[in-house]
Structure 1
């Protein structure tokens, strides 16, 4: 089924674009794949880190400005994200600068976090500087993780070139499975929190 797909050509031609666009949103899965591809010599590790850093930084910057201009109207509508909003709000109150750096590493905070920070009134210059630093650290960690995962797999299985596509699919499925489990756990916690809320008396 996959024997006619030139995975090397696809990665070399569109890999950096895929990493940049993917990192505008969440990006961890595509970034790990980029690290694996860098280990195989299809992509360059530092170029992967550059485009991932740029995409991650720009994505959070857009969300920050959206929160700054529209947060007062937008955040009250995100009822399902209320737990994450409260968590980020508490983090901003206690450690405003740490919150900018850390939200991209916290599950469920990547999209909501910059919105809340933007609505909090934090200085755009401060946010931009720390956001850039955080994006570079984030991209370096995940891309390097993918690179060393490729090194480990090659030591175990030998030459990985014939198996690039199955490995990519496997990584995607693994990350999707982890995300699904986390989503189900967060959903169960949200249901328990709703069940603990006192009922409003009827008028």
Structure 2
């Protein structure tokens, strides 16, 4: 399927890019990252305009995020209501709600680009837990612009050499994720909890 989609980029370009990122943000198996890298290569060759490719990818992704959020808001609340009937689950879900309130912006932002496979599920969770739509949207838009900018930008910078762009981007994201994990672990180990000893 990937080769078939890549062959459609010259013909349908921006529309295909937006549709692919939209569907990938709904947890459907579409190769959005590869298509964004390809669009960057086409922009380097002059067949697409760079900023339009970034905008199309980000717009499709934001639309997918919004649909996932509102699906969670509509259907997730029914599921949560049934789960909350059990007191043990209710306590766990209350903790999850509190965690989403405290760390929701970071979770939404990072799940757009750094750990993007989690994004569709974060959308559903944010919607179903009643997380604020303006905060979700703000963090989501910024995260999707970063995601689209990174992938289309790397495709542009490597002028269509998808293998080199994929390897480099994977290394960069791995380093960012690893550094973030080290910082989070250090914070957890060395900073005492509030109100604690």
TM range (shorter): 0.5 to 0.7
| Aligned counterparts of 2:99 and 2:158: Cα–Cα separation in 1 | 33
Question: Which of 107, 112, 126 is the equivalent residue of 1:99?
Answer: 107
- The equivalent of 1:158 in structure 2 is none
Q: Is the 8 A contact 2:45 2:159 kept in 1?
A: yes
| Aligned counterparts of 1:141 and 1:123: Cα–Cα separation in 2 | 27
State the secondary structure of the residue aligned to 2:117.
coil
User: How many residues are aligned here?
Assistant: 141
- The equivalent of 1:60 in structure 2 is 65
Q: Is the 8 A contact 1:91 1:99 kept in 2?
A: no
- The equivalent of 1:72 in structure 2 is 77
Q: Please report the TM-score for the alignment, with normalisation by the length of structure 1.
A: 0.59
- The equivalent of 1:80 in structure 2 is none
CA positional deviation for 1:74: 5.7
- Pair 1:50 & 2:55 matched: yes
| Aligned counterparts of 1:91 and 1:37: Cα–Cα separation in 2 | 42
| Aligned counterparts of 1:17 and 1:140: Cα–Cα separation in 2 | 17
Gaps of 5+ in 1: 1-6, 77-85, 154-166, 179-203
Write out aligned runs for 1:8-87 (5 A): 10-26=8-24, 27-73=32-78
- The equivalent of 2:121 in structure 1 is 112
- The equivalent of 1:182 in structure 2 is none
| Aligned counterparts of 2:134 and 2:116: Cα–Cα separation in 1 | 25
State the secondary structure of the residue aligned to 2:118.
coil
Distance 1:72 1:141, change over 3 A: same
- Pair 1:140 & 2:138 matched: no
Q: Is the 8 A contact 2:42 2:48 kept in 1?
A: yes
- Per-residue CA deviation, residues 75-116 of structure 1 (Å, 9 max, x unaligned), is 89xxxxxxxxx9x97962541111121112215312211001
Distance 1:125 1:17, change over 3 A: same
- Per-residue CA deviation, residues 128-181 of structure 1 (Å, 9 max, x unaligned), is 222111111111111101111227x4xxxxxxxxxxxxx6xx79xx89xx9xxx
- Pair 1:129 & 2:133 matched: no
CA positional deviation for 1:53: 0.9
Write out aligned runs for 1:176-195 (5 A): none
Q: Which moved more, 1:99-108 or 1:134-143?
A: 99-108
Q: Is the 8 A contact 1:11 1:43 kept in 2?
A: no
- The equivalent of 1:79 in structure 2 is none
Gaps of 5+ in 2: 1-6, 25-31, 83-92, 171-197
